[in-house]
Amino acid sequence: MSSDLGDRDSKPSELVEDRLEDVQMDVKQRGGGREMAWRFLKENALILLTLLGIGVGFAVGVGLQQVKPSPDVLQWIGVPGEIFLRSLKATIFPIIVCMVITATSSVDPTKNRSIAVVAVLAFFLTALLAVLTAVVLFFLFKPASNTLQVDSDKTFGTKLETQDIFLDLIRNIFPDNVVDAAISQTVTEYTEEEPGSVNASSNDTDATTFKKSLTQSRGINILGLITICAVVGAAANTALPPESAFLSFFRHGQQVVMKVMVWITWTTPVGVASLVAQSIAGVSNLGSIFLSLSRLVLCVVVGLTFHQLITLPVIYFVLWRKNPFTFLMRCAKAFFVSFAATATSVALPHMLDACKQNGVSSKVSRFVIPMSVTLHADGSALYIASASMFVAHTSGAASIGVSDFLVIGTLSSVLSLTIPPVPSASIVTVAVILTSINRPLQGIALLFTVEWLLDRLRSGVNATSHVICAAYTDAICNGRVRQVPEPETTRLQDNTNSWCMEVLVEGEAVAEPNSHRTSDQELIHIGDVENR
């Protein structure tokens, strides 16, 4: 009897204890959920603020369209964005010099060559896939022929020839002056001469002639800098010990410049809002412009979206067997910064950080990413192919044949690696392709009306593709690049709680033939570190 009473008394107490455990678990889960939400907001603060800046800029731009602001007002609206871009561009030269010399000095020169070859193949492969996407979408969204109406007085023409683009590329790879490479690039210029002044003996004295000449275009010759710095780094690899003052200077220089870029990066939301508002407020008749070019805009937007969300993630999954959508999230910062700036070069630190988060070897990413920024633009390749086909089809000339598609596809893939350093370079490349297939150029004038949007979209896709190419190169060269085990990492958190300096201390290096590198070496990497 007494035992029965004891059992009855114990049951309520057990129920109370179980209930208390459930309540404690519920409280813990709620607290954990809040902690996870706070961690997510903290780690993705820059992305969320950048998205907010884009939304604010778009709303302000649409609102200002109603009052038709003057050019002076538009200029003042864009001042914060201009300061943001100028600040980022000022860091491009020092970061490329320090990063490329540091990367090439830590890898055997023969491996540098293999990395470069594989990277260029990756550039061409992704560009070719982008062009194939553009061709397929052209047949899905193909407009009626002879529908592109333009004012005959507003024509667009170019005398830039395909061979001159490649010659300028070769000249810029091998600069003749190191100082000039930091501030200018070599380009071919066409000067119109008086009729009959060159060939006076010819009967056709009224023909307009053009004279070619080489001139300097303002802007950093990134390709030439990469060549010079790669050679210097390779020479330092064989001539100097790893602890030399020369190499230490560039390693610490990279650390300092990256810290400055971190500070500038936190002004991205304000700069983005300013640039987007200025662009939209300065466009008149926004609705009618999109209506006249709706099929082209739809084709390019769908193509870039497909390339960004399907093609590139599939390549990443095949190579790494990892979640491709996690990869895309890690590339979001680089995408939005490139979207705002219409240039991938200003997103260099974010692309390097995305490579690190996705497991790409720093020895590969620090060499491939700067080269990819200069040579690689598969988002631009997709746009160039789409615009060329649409303008050629709607110009009222002869229909596009199979040979024309082959020419457009081939030139779009190849010329995307050699886009000339001039404003609206992709549109200039479209003109070169249309000239190659003997199509009129008048329709190109309308492309400028949607350039403010499509240029931003393809720049963002280009940034994601740069990271993919670095991952592709690392996967192919994995057996040769990662012969030394991954070093232990010591994380030194800085006061931003999102960026830190990693001092990677490698053990004894594998001795290469005829190499004296048997001592320890310190490599400094900068990147985004999750708060743990």
Q: For the residues 119-126, what does the mean pLDDT come to?
A: 88
In this prediction, residue 347 carries a pLDDT of: 84
Confidence check: pLDDT of 307 > 90: yes
Integer Cα distance of 249 and 90 in angstroms = 19
Q: Which residue in this structure is represented by tokens 């690392």?
A: 474
Residue 217 lies in a domain: no
Residue 83 lies in a domain: yes
Between 158 and 370, the more confident residue is 370
Residues 267 and 416 in one domain: yes
Between 223 and 312, the more confident residue is 312
Residues 125 and 85 in one domain: yes
Among residues 481, 497, 516, the one where a domain terminates is 481
Question: For 213-267, where are the alpha helices, taking DSSP H only?
Answer: 222-239, 245-265
> How big is the CA angle at 137 (ends 132 and 143), to the nearest 5 degrees?
135
Beta carbons of 358 and 327 less than 8 angstroms apart: yes
CATH number, domain of 462, equals 1.10.3860.10
Q: For the residues 520-531, what does the mean pLDDT come to?
A: 36
- DSSP string over 478-530: HHHHT-SPPPEEEEEE-TTSSEEEEEEEE-SPPPPTT----S-EEEEEEEE--
pLDDT tens digits, 475-499: 888 644 444 343 333 333 333 333 3
Residues 301 and 394 in one domain: yes
Residue 202 lies in a domain: no
Confidence check: pLDDT of 382 > 90: yes
Beta carbons of 247 and 236 less than 8 angstroms apart: yes
526 pLDDT band (50/70/90 cuts)? very low
Residues 436 and 469 in one domain: yes
Confidence check: pLDDT of 150 > 50: no
Residues, the chain: 532
Range name among 93-102, 126-135, 138-147, 515-524 with the lowest pLDDT average: 515-524
Residue 187 lies in a domain: no
Range name among 36-40, 320-324, 521-525 with the lowest pLDDT average: 521-525
Between 530 and 445, the more confident residue is 445
Give the number of other CB atoms < 10 A from CB of residue 154.
10
528 pLDDT band (50/70/90 cuts)? very low
Residues 264 and 285 in one domain: yes
512 pLDDT band (50/70/90 cuts)? very low
Confidence check: pLDDT of 23 > 60: no
Residues 354 and 413 in one domain: yes
33 pLDDT band (50/70/90 cuts)? low
Residues 21 and 115 in one domain: no
Residues 334 and 389 in one domain: yes
Q: For the residues 49-76, what does the mean pLDDT come to?
A: 86
304 pLDDT band (50/70/90 cuts)? very high
Integer Cα distance of 348 and 95 in angstroms = 9
Q: For the residues 20-42, what does the mean pLDDT come to?
A: 65
Residues 230 and 374 in one domain: yes
Q: Which residue in this structure is represented by tokens 């220089």?
A: 253
What is the pLDDT of the chain when averaged over all its residues?
74
Q: For the residues 345-352, what does the mean pLDDT come to?
A: 85
278 pLDDT band (50/70/90 cuts)? confident
Residues 466 and 324 in one domain: yes
Residue 176 lies in a domain: no
3-state class (DSSP) for residue 149: coil
**In the chain, how many domains are there?**
3
| Nearest one of 423, 434, 420 to 164, comparing CA atoms | 420
Between 202 and 56, the more confident residue is 56
In this prediction, residue 495 carries a pLDDT of: 36
447: Cβ contacts below 8 Å, ≥ 6 apart: 293, 387, 391, 427, 430
Between 465 and 212, the more confident residue is 465
Beta carbons of 351 and 101 less than 8 angstroms apart: no
In this prediction, residue 181 carries a pLDDT of: 83
Confidence check: pLDDT of 195 > 80: no
Integer Cα distance of 492 and 502 in angstroms = 6
pLDDT tens digits, 67-94: 888 888 888 998 998 898 788 778 878 8
Residue 261 lies in a domain: yes
Q: For the residues 89-105, what does the mean pLDDT come to?
A: 83
Confidence check: pLDDT of 420 > 70: no
Residues 337 and 444 in one domain: yes
Residues 339 and 437 in one domain: yes
Confidence check: pLDDT of 152 > 50: no
Residue 361 lies in a domain: yes
Residue 173 lies in a domain: no
3-state SS of 77-119? HCHHHHHHHHHHHHCHHHHHHHHHHHHHHCCCHHHHHHHHHHH
Range name among 113-117, 127-131, 396-400 with the lowest pLDDT average: 396-400
Domain around 515: 488-528
Integer Cα distance of 77 and 277 in angstroms = 7
Beta carbons of 95 and 254 less than 8 angstroms apart: yes
Confidence check: pLDDT of 58 > 50: yes
